[in-house]
Structures are given as C-alpha cells and as structure tokens.
Structure 1
Amino acid sequence: MNSKKPNPAIQSRALEILQTVFGYPVFRGQQEEIIEHVASGHDALILMPTGGGKSLCYQIPALIRDGVGIVVSPLIALMQDQVDALETAGVRAAYLNSTQSYEEAFRVERAVLENELDLVYIAPERLVTSRCLNWLQKAKIALFAIDEAHCVSQWGHDFRPEYIQLSILHEHFPDVPRIALTATADRHTRDEIVSRLKLDDSRQFISSFDRPNIRYCIVEKENPRRQLLDFILSGHRGDAGIVYCLSRRKVEETVSFLTEQGISALPYHAGLGHAVRTENQARFLREDGIVMVATIAFGMGIDKPDVRFVAHLDLPKSMEGYYQETGRAGRDGNPATAWMAYGLQDVVQQRRMIDESDADFEHRKIQIGKLDALLGFCESLTCRRVRLLEYFGESSSPCGNCDTCLSPPVAKDGTKDMQKLLSTVYRVGQRFGAVHVINVLRGISSERVLQWNHNRLSTFGIGAEQSEAEWRSVLRQAIAAQYVFVDNEEYNALKLTEKARPVLKGELTVLLRPYLKPDRRRKTRLLQAASQPVLPQREQKLFERLKWWRMEIARQQNMPAYVIFQDATLREIALAKPLTEEELLQISGIGNKRLAMWGSEILKLVDEFTSSPV
C-alpha cells in the first residue's frame, strides 16, 4: 500500500475539472482521495456502490495525466452511450469494439497515437490480442481502468474468462497506473481481483455498500405475475423498471402479460437476435416508462439513472447477484424499490442448478453458502438492509425504509410447527419432496400417500389446521435455517441436517416469520411512502417543460435523454429558475460544454416561463 502526502496541485486541477467539465460543485465520499492517488501514478482497487460516482475516479485522472486513459469494459452495447456522455461534457472520447468497421477502428487507433483522445473504451477480448497490445506500446497511456472488475472472479456472479488475462497489463505496462472498479465484491472476490490482476501493491478504497434510497420488499409468491402487476400499478405506474426472470420462456410470457395490461414492456435474453436485443436496450435507455423484462444477461453497466424499480420474479443466485441487480435502480439518488416474489420452488430450483452444474465440489459448496445467505435475507425477521450490509462486512442500524421496518413481522414461537415438519420428514424416510411431506402433515390421502401407507404414520394429519401455503412458509424457513436440505440427487427429497437434532429434542426454541396472506392495502401503503420528490405546482410545470425540451434534443441527437441532462439537474433548474449563465453554472450537472451547447436555450425557456402569467 502506498503512503504519501496529498499533492495540492493535483487536487486543485481535479476540482477544476469536476466543476468546469462535469458541472459538479464538490466531490463525494472518497472520490477526491482516489483521484489524487491514481493521478499521482498509483494503482487502486475501488469498491463503490452503483450510482456512487465510480466513473469520475478514472475519468478525471485520465484528464490530469499525460496520454490517453484506456477503459477496459465488457459492455460493448453501452460504449456508444458512455462516449456520447463524455463528448457532451467536452471530453475527447472513443471506443474500440467488434461493431466497428476496420476503417472506423483505424481512425480511433491513429487518433490515440496522435494524442487526440482523452479516453478510449476497449472490450477485454480485443485488448488482450497481440495486435492491440503492440499498438498500445506505441501510445502514451495515462492509465488503465478495469471496469466491472468482479468479472475476474470465478466465484462471482458475472465471470468473464477473458478478464483473467488482464494481468498482462502489469507485465506489458509496469509503469502505467491501473485502477480496478466494481460495485459488488465480498472479501473473497476482492482478494481474487487483487491476485489475478496483480494489484498486490494497490491501495483499496472500500465505500459503504448502503443504498439508502432503495426500499427492499419481498412478498410470498402466490400469483407472481398478478403480484408484479399490482406492484407496478400501486406505486410505479409509468416508471422505468427492470423485471428479472430465470428463463427465456418466462421473460416472453411476462412481457406478453404486461403488454396486455397496458404496460410498455420489452424482452431481453440470449435467445433473441443481436439486432433485437440492441434495439430493445436502446429503447429502454432512450424512452421514458419502459419496463425491461430480462434474464440476468441484461443490466451490467446500465447507466440509466431513473430506473425506479427492479423486480425479481425468481430468486437470484446469491447476495452479490441480488445486490448487483437491485443496484440498477435509483442511480440518481431518488427513491426506488427492489421488489421480489419468492417461494419454495425458487429454493429447490436454485439448489438443483448448483447440483447439476459442471463446477467442482469446492465451487458448488461456495455457491450453496451464497444461496443460503440469500435465503436468510429473504426470511429475515429484522431489517433487510442490516442483513444485506452484514453480508458485505458492514454494520448498520435498522433503516426504517424496508418492508420489515415499515411493517414489522411479529415473530411467533414456531418450535412445535418446526418439530412437526422435521418429524414428518424423518418418518417418511427422508426420501420424499415437499408436496408429499406437506400432504402427510395436513392429512391428505393422496394416491402416493396411500401407496406408501404414510396415512398410518403418527404424524399424518398433525398439521391439518394449517394451509399448504403456511406449511410451505415453515419449510422455506427450515431450509433457510439449515435444518433441512433438498437432495437433488434423490428427486428433491427433503433430508435432515445435524442442526435439526436439538430442535427435535426440544433443546432449541425456533422463532418463525408468520405467514401473511397478500394484503394489497398494506403493500400500497409501503409503495406510496417511496414516492418521488414533489415539486411545488408551478415548478413542476417548468420541470415538465424542461423534460419535453430535453426529449426533443435527445431525439434529434439520437442519444438517451439522461446523457443530455439528468432529472436531478432539471429539477434544480426548475427550483432555481436561473436567468444568467453565471446562475446556470451553479446548477449541479452543468459544465462549460453543456452551457455552451444548451445554456441559451434553457435560459430562454426559463425566462419565457417566469414571464408568463401563473
């Protein structure tokens, strides 16, 4: 780790760039310290939540240092938007990827050699080729930024094999600083990033994982598509959102359902042609109020700031995956919701996928541990944010802004219910799945129960007073507490673990989350509390007029509206009503280039509005 005194000259230049180029008055969190560290020529590993301002941590050092900043990014489909945003701010930027012709790529390469660019985005599979490395050897490189660095981890949720080869940057360019950035990495993944990228002497900057503007809500899965519709209509009608499904088929079915209900929904999965995926992603980024229904193939690096909700119709694979996916909501800092419908079948399905994977025993063991942590989060009786942050090694207090805080579940003594369940699993020989066990508990003489004479067991019917849904809730919590596991090698048979023994012996009291039937009124109250900032009536009219103006500019220039100005900037303009360029420059998000391009139009619009009758 490098220990050095701050460089006032670099700090002064960094602040100047922040204000004049990007239009922000002050740095946030650790940004200033990181920028000074990297601009001074040192390596760094940056862990900062989505929306925390990671990109400035390499963009500003690239502008301070001599040469071009090379950004390694797996996000080919988004490179154009990233470059558009930089050019809009007055930064000389370009990209190199497989979508370009030879002539287009050659022009970028020549511009780099002639010092005509500040930043270039390159896909990792292109960067590691001998041709690309030879070209870069001839250039003046300011730094290498390795974005989405968690992709290097074979234990992670977005593993990309080409990322492992990026250690060659250290070998070929030992004097060029490297900065690895990610929003999601536990201790194990961080250690692997450092090892594989040879960042042993780098300084690590670990920001808080907390996203306080995101509300976490998890509901019992009953009729998931109808529950999703109720969720959207209750609190997010007309909002941009992402819905994650596990399969392509479920994506298509969900899109059809939402479209029939009048919601603008688009699909995204690997089974669609490249042109369709590209077009759907472009519409999602450029248009307001689109709901993207997708597999996890969609979303990494999405810069759209006004995604108001992320919904899961299927359980993710891990806490890292859940955090990464939900983190795509509310990048602008305004309230957003992470909603999930979760049921017993999700647990069985994820365990099956782990057991049937080609991974070795050690890898499967780690994946099961990650899944168990996510199950504990879903079944938590306490603040969800506390549980989420605990997983990443961060302590916190109850947030008051998740479903368990806003409508606290009253834990019940579930020891007898758990003993009934575990006893039944044992008495059917630990050879049957959830449906059979629950039928025995409820005293249902199904064909299979009669076939095995399980209607003669002492536990037959001892849980008849509870519904199937209630027993499924108990079983889910038994799995989350690791009293029971699902053995996929024996057709999803439920089996007891050693942790079940003290429960059966009455040596351990079990507290259970009570089963609650879906309550639409309760759900609506939760969502209404997460509404967006409300402007006074007159300022709201100006805000809407500014958004309309921005939409027209975006359409003319064929770029996402947020690349021109984010909603937060337009809200601030609507409140401040600047009438001079000096006043406009005080607005966060307006730098010199944006002022030159659109300042006069904005001032004219504001002047006309303020001069008009109320």
Structure 2
Amino acid sequence: MALATELKKHFGFDTFKGNQEEVIKNLLAGNDTFVLMPTGGGKSLCYQLPALMMQGTAIIISPLIALMKNQVDAMRNFSEDDNVAHFLNSSLTKAVIDQVKSDITAGHTKLLYVAPESLTKQDTIEFLKTVPISFYAVDEAHCISEWGHDFRPDYRRIRPIINEISRRPIIALTATATPKVQHDIQKNLGMLEARIFKSSFNRSNLFYEIRAKSQNTDRDIIRFIKQQDDKSGIVYCLSRKKVEELTELLQLNEINALPYHAGLDPNTRAANQDAFIMEKVSVIVATIAFGMGIDKPDVRFVIHYDIPKSLEGYYQETGRAGRDGGEGHCITFYSSKDLAKMEKFMQNKPLVEQEIGRQLLIETAAYAESSVCRRKMLLHYFGEEYNIDNCGNCDNCLNPKKQVEAKDELCATIETVMALNEKFKADHIVDVMLGKSTAAIKTYDHKGLEVFGCLEGSDAKTLNTVIRQAILEGYLDRDIENFGIIQLTDKGKKYYKKPTSFKIVEDTDFADEESEPVMKGGASCAVDPELYNILKDLRRKLAKKLELPPYVIFQDPSLEAMATTYPITIEELQNIPGVGSGKAKRYGDEFIKVIKSHVEEYEIERPEDLRVRSVANKSKLKISIVQGIDRKIPLDALAESKGLEFNELLDEIEAIVYSGTKITIDYFLNEIMDYDRQADIFEYFRESDTDNLAQAIDELGNEYSEEEIRLVRIKFLSELGN
C-alpha cells in the first residue's frame, strides 16, 4: 500500500514533511537509519508510521516517563484501539505491567516505549526475547554522547542489550547534534553504516532575541508575558530557587504560572506539567528538567532567565516554541557574570568534563554577544551554512549594527595562527597580538615571535569578534574536539595571499547595558474567528471531560481549517489537515454538529477557497488598562496594580491612543493639574507641527514636568485624533 495512503489513514495528513517519507522507506527496507531533524520537524512520525505498518512490536527507547506518557496518549488518540501503544517504566504497578505484556504477546501493541534504565533489567530483556520485534527506535539519541547536552550513561548500554534480545534495524533520532555528537551516537550504537537523513536546523518561524540581564529583568518578563494574551509559554531558570521565586512573583502579578523542577515531589511535578499541557495554566517556570518531557505544539514563547550551558541546550529548549509552525518568540537574558557562575558549578567535576563544559560555554557566550544574524551563528554551530544576509527574524537582523573594515586585523590574526602552528585557543592568540605578558606567553616564550604585539593598542573585544566572524566566513576553524584550538582553513590561506575587504559587526557589550525589548508578533487566524472560538471552547470542554490535553483532540491548525472550509460531514472532516479516520470517528460528530448549526444560522455559503485574513491582536494588558480608565481608577493606582512604573503605564496608554482607541483621562488630569496649565500644553500641541516629546519639553521650558506634558499629549491625541 502507498505510504501516502497509510499516512492519511492513520494520521490524517495528506503529505509528508521534509524527508519523512525517505526516512520511513529506508526503515521499512530493514536498514539502520540516523535522523537529525529539528524540534517540530516531525521526528516521531518517522518511527510511528512504520511501527503501525510492520509486523511485530517496535521498541521505542525514550529518556523521560512524562514524554513516554504523552507519546502513548497521542498514539492512542490517532487510533481506535487504546492498546496500540504502551510504555514500561518504574511508574507502573505489577498488575498494569502484566496487562501490558499480555497485550504485546497477543500482538495488539505496535509501539512499546521503554526507558533505557528499564531496558537494562533482566526480566525486561527475558520478556522481549519472546516478542517479535519490528525495529528499535532510540529517541533523543544525543543522550548517548558526553558532548551532548543531556548525557545519560545508560544510553551507552543500549547496543549490547539489543544484541542480547534480537538484532533488528535501529533508527536513532535527535533534534540537536553537532558533527562530533553525531559520530558518537553512530559509533556507540554500532550503526556507522547507517544512512543519514539530515534536515535543516533552521526554524524560520522562531524569533531569536538576546537581552541584557539587569535589575529590571523580572519586570521585563512580567510585562512581556502580560502582553501575550494568555498564550502558552515556558520560562527556564538555572536554579530551583529562582524557579520558585519567579513563579511566586508571576502569580502575584496575576499570571497563571506553576513551577517545575526536580526538587518537587513526583506527583506535584506531574500535576504541574499536566496543568500546562491541558491549558489550565499558561506559563511553566522550570529548570531544564522540563526539557524533553513536553510535547505541546502551541508554545508561543520560551524565555531563558539565565543563559543555557550549551548551544545544543539552547536550541533544544527554544525549539519547544512554535512546533506547529506558528509564531515562537525566544528571549534570553544574558550577563557575562552568568558564565563565571556556571564555571563555578563545574569545579567539582573531572578535569576533562570541566574542559568540555568550558568550551560549550565559550560557544554560548560567542552566540549571545555576537551582533551577526543569530540564525547564521546557530546553524553554523550545527554544521549548516546559512547564506542569507538578513534573516528578518532575530534581534540582530531587525536592528543591524554598522559594519567596520577589519581586513588588516584578519590578516594579522591569520599570520598569528600560523606563527603559533595552529595549536592555541582564541584567548591566547588575542593576547599574543595585543602583546600581553601572560603566564602562558612566558611559558611558551611567545614574546620573541615577530607577531607579538602586532596589534598593540587594539582591544580584545574587537579581536575576538574578528576571530568569531572569520570562523563564520570559513577563514578559520575552531576544533572543538581539541578544546577550541583555532586552525587555518584552505580558504583562509588563499585569503592571506590575496586579501580583500573583510567587514565585521562589532559584538554587543553586555557588561552594563540595558536593552530595550524588540517586539515581534502577529499570527494567521481562521477566516471565521467566531466559529474558531466556538470550536476552541468545544475542544476545551471535551478535553476537560476526557482529561486530555486539548491539542490531542485537534491541533489549532485543524480548528483554523474547520473555521475556514466548514466541513459538515465525517468525510469532509477527514479532508482537514491533521484529522485521520480514527480522530474523525472518535471526536468528529460533536464538531460537525456545531459547524453545521453555525453554517445554517448565518446562512454561510461554503466556497472551496476563502482568503485567510489576519485579525489584530489586542493584548490582555492593554484591554485591562482601558477598562481601568473607563472605571476612572487613578492612573498611579492603576500602574501599581499592573506592576508598572508610572512612565511605563504612560508608554502603554500612548500605544493605545496611537492605535486609534479613544480614552478619557480628564478625571485624573483634573485632580493633578489646574485647567489653565492643561490648556497651555494642549494649545502647544494644537499649534505644533509635531508631537515629538523632546521638542515639547524643550519649547515649554521648565514650567511643566515631562509627566504633565505626556498626560496632556495623551488627552490631545485621544480627543482630536481618535
């Protein structure tokens, strides 16, 4: 049977994503398969569909109990049979384990999820020896490598256990693996001959932004979340203590948030995760323990309160956003002090592990401090070149810095790398060029080199920028396996013989800078917003009744399609993306009934194609401010209730009136200013050809405060402009 037919039958999709089809064909042919695919790219389908098609049971090795449970729930909801998928782990009672084994022996179960620790138990091994196995899938395979960001020693025992049970094809899957980690995985699983399927790491829908950490970071996070209109989001913190503190702060500011970290008892942790997935809360504040245990497609923002320990970790965690292809805003707060803190955490580890950790931190710092395209840097780290000058979806590309010529600096750097025989790291190379008398330079007697002090008078920050961007452009290479040694490439040798212009963008200094937030947003919506909201309410009620996450019933894109094409039969419903026959039969009747009623009530003609229109997004904060002003709450009290400084409230109110909303703040103005003073400022704006605040302050002199001028300007704009 054709793969596309099977895809439609089991999952309701008309087409495969990316290289899913080629991956599945390779596995069905009995070949070892290595899949490198970004979060949200559809890795799970690469083993789920073959498992349903092949004889026997597929063994899925997965690192987290929570992730297994989510995957099994999802598979059961795609099928009419609940025993199509099971998991075996330490959370089950003996009676449940016996039932699971009975279903597997009877041939009902196509996918069995096991943790690597469970797989190593002798009774599990003996049982699996009696089971016809279709193949083994090793999910989150980067856990095998010490260079990976979630190293799990038990993952390194998988191959010997497979050999003991029965040799069948292996498919290894991961969303984050540098070339080094990829080789580790293949070598350890004994699959060096496996066919490799590597998808692009580019998640074009994610907006990457680094902000300077400051004393206002908590406030910035509160403001950002309040502007998200109850969208789902994750805030990652480095420590359990910070998770608890920030959760409490968010709750005090009327943000529906819960904590998640390894210090909570297992029942509380599981309950908090379920509350997030079931949309009972909109925000989870977590340590990275929350990482792989989530399979929620509509997370709209991921905030890192602290810089992650590695770019793999950063990519994996930001990849929780926008898995459905919708918008995803990824904000990281960074301070160079955080790096020193994290290096301290590593002090008790073995020296080799400390060195690996240090190199990973250096790469993360380079990413955070760089002013070049975030996407370009991130993809380069994973061995992928991104040749677009401006991605248009990161802070650096939306606010590009001026380029400066650095041809002489690059030539000097290349010359120094050659003089040092390509055996030293970036910091030592920079010290040589600056002519510093460090202990290492004295030890290696590098003061006598001709290049010593060749760029004396320059600064380390600029030279580090040159090295980083020369690596990006392929003139230099950083050998991570040799702890960051800088080497010269063939392209760099050619450049040295015939130099051309080399422009750099100077890196950002995060020492004491406070960044302004870069706002980015806007998402497509259904053509019939009213029906879309009705369907969302129905989905939420059904999810509550069935105790399921709403997206398991139907994902947002499916609801949007229903509110665009108005399916009124089971057959039509099955043409909706993401709705297979199993889902249509299980949940379809109630949705069709609601759609049919809506179509009849509004006498809607159901054309085949309707233009999707975007709907303006009003933030919860702005609406609550307008409501507060309507109720004549004093503005200073309103600011305090929203956790804002007074000038921040004025920022919000100005945005409201500039967008065309009419408000009346006379009740507050009349309390703090007499009529004549108001009239003077009002008249100024009436006669002026600009509403520029700095110019107004300059022309109105010292008689009026900035706050008074801003308040009257709001009154002016609202009364005459709206």
Same fold (TM over 0.5): yes
Assess if the C-alpha contact under 8 Å between 1:409 and 1:514 holds in 2.
Answer: no
C-alpha displacement at 1:81, in angstroms?
A: 2.4
* 1:466 paired residue number: none
Match of 2:22 among 26, 33, 54: 33
Give yes or no for contact 1:89–1:591 (8 Å, CA) kept in 2: yes
Which runs of 5 or more structure 1 residues have no equivalent in the other structure?
A: 1-8, 431-473, 484-496, 500-507
Which residue number in structure 1 is paired with residue 85 of structure 2? 93
Using the alignment, how far apart are the partners of 1:572 and 1:357 within structure 2?
A: 54
Match of 1:297, SS state, is helix
Indicate the SS of the match to 2:113: strand
Which whole-Å CA distance do the structure 1 matches of 2:557 and 2:329 have between them? 18
1:130-149 equivalence runs, <5 A: 130-149=122-141
Whether 1:259 aligns to 2:274 is: no
Cα-to-partner distance string for 1:402-435 (whole Å, 9 max, x where unaligned)? 11111113357999xx9xx999x999999xxxxx
Query: Partners of 2:46 and 2:397 in 1: how far apart?
Result: 35
Question: With structure 1 as the length reference, what TM-score do the two structures score?
Answer: 0.80
Letter in 2 for 1:367: G
Cα distance in 2 between the residues matched to 1:476 and 1:260 = 41
Q: Is the 8 A contact 2:465 2:504 kept in 1?
A: no
Q: Using the TM superposition, give the Cα deviation of residue 348 of structure 1 relative to its aligned residue in structure 2, in angstroms.
A: 1.4
Q: How much has 1:252 moved relative to structure 2?
A: 0.9
Amino acid aligned to 1:85: A
With over 3 angstroms needed to count, the CA separation of the structure-2 counterparts of 1:244 and 1:475, relative to structure 1, is farther
SS of the residue aligned with 1:69? strand
C-alpha distance in 1 between matches for 2:343 and 2:465: 12
Tell me if the contact between 1:48 and 1:209 (Cα under 8 Å) persists in the aligned partners: yes
SS at match of 2:301: strand
* Distance (Å, rounded) in 2 between the aligned partners of 1:510 and 1:16: 52
Alignment partners' CA distance in 2, 1:45 and 1:422: 42
C-alpha separation in 2, matches of 1:592 and 1:75:
30
Indicate conservation of the 8 Å contact 1:268/1:298, yes or no: yes
Say which of 361, 376, 390 aligns to 2:380: 390
Q: 2:398 aligns with which of 402, 406, 430?
A: 406
Deviations 1:168-193 (A, max 9, x none): 24412554111111101111111111
Match of 1:534 in 2: 525
Output the amino acid matched with 1:576.
T
1:21–1:591 contact (8 Å) kept in structure 2: yes
Is the 8 Å Cα contact of residues 411 and 513 (structure 1) preserved in structure 2? no
1:377 lines up with 2:370 in the alignment: no
Matched, 1:599 2:595: no
- Provide the residue aligned with 1:303 in structure 2: 295
Deviation, 1:226, is: 1.4
- Give the stretch that moved more between structures: 344-353 or 390-399: 344-353
Aligned to 1:83: 72
TM-score, length basis structure 2: 0.69
> Which residue of 2 is the match for residue 512 of structure 1?
506
Aligned to 1:555: 544
Structure 1 Cα separation of the partners of residues 238 and 167 of structure 2? 44
Post-superposition CA distance 1:46-94 (Å, at most 9, x none): 1111111111111111111110111111110232222121111116111
**Equivalent residue number for residue 359 of structure 1:** 350
Aligned pairs (5 A) from 1:43-54: 43-54=32-43
Pick closer, same or farther for the CA change 1:325–1:476 going to 2, 3 Å.
farther
Q: 1:68 corresponds to which residue?
A: 57
1:258 Cα deviation after fit: 1.0
**Matched residues, percent identical?**
39
Counterparts of 1:19 and 1:513 in 2: how far apart (Å)? 49
1:512 positional shift: 3.0
Asked if the contact 1:268–1:294 (Cα under 8 Å) also holds between the matched residues in 2, the reply is yes
The offset of 1:382, in angstroms, is 1.4
- The answer as to whether partners of 1:81 and 1:560 remain within 8 angstroms in 2 is no
RMSD (Å), alpha carbons: 3.0
What SS does the aligned partner of 1:27 have? coil
2:105 touches 2:131 (CA, 8 Å); kept in 1? yes
Q: Does 1:178 align with 2:173?
A: no
Q: CA deviation at 1:274?
A: 1.2
What is aligned with 2:195?
203
Match of 1:122 among 114, 134, 139: 114
Please tell me whether the aligned partners of residues 66 and 294 of structure 2 are also in contact (alpha carbons under 8 angstroms).
Answer: no
Residue 511 of structure 1: CA displacement?
5.9
Structure 1 residues 79 and 72: CA distance shift in structure 2, 3 A: same
- C-alpha deviation, 1:96, in angstroms: 1.1
Instruction: Spell out, residue by residue over 1:296-334, the C-alpha distance to the aligned partner (whole angstroms, 9 max, x if none).
Output: 111214110011011111111111111011101111110
**CA offset at residue 341 of structure 1?**
0.9
SS at match of 1:219: strand
Contact 2:465–2:506 (8 Å) recurs in 1 = no
CA–CA separation in structure 2 for the residues paired with 1:323 and 1:121: 25
Show the counterpart of 2:103.
Answer: 111
Q: Secondary structure at the match of 1:277?
A: helix
Q: Provide closer, same or farther for how the CA distance between residues 57 and 124 of structure 1 changes in structure 2, counting only shifts above 3 A.
A: same
Secondary structure in 1 matching 2:192: coil
Bigger RCO (CA 8 Å, 6+ sep)? 1
Partner of 1:449: none
User: Gapped runs of 5+ residues in structure 2?
Assistant: 409-426, 440-458, 469-484, 488-501, 604-722
Distance 1:514 1:103, change over 3 A: closer
| 1:68–1:409 distance in 2 versus 1, CA, 3 Å | same
CA deviation vs aligned residue, 1:351-387 (integer Å, no higher than 9, x gap): 3333x041333x3333222221111111122111011
Which of 222, 245, 248 is matched with 1:229 structurally?
Answer: 222
Q: Secondary structure at the match of 2:288?
A: coil
Q: Does 1:167 align with 2:132?
A: no
Please give the secondary structure, in 2, of the residue aligned with 1:393.
coil
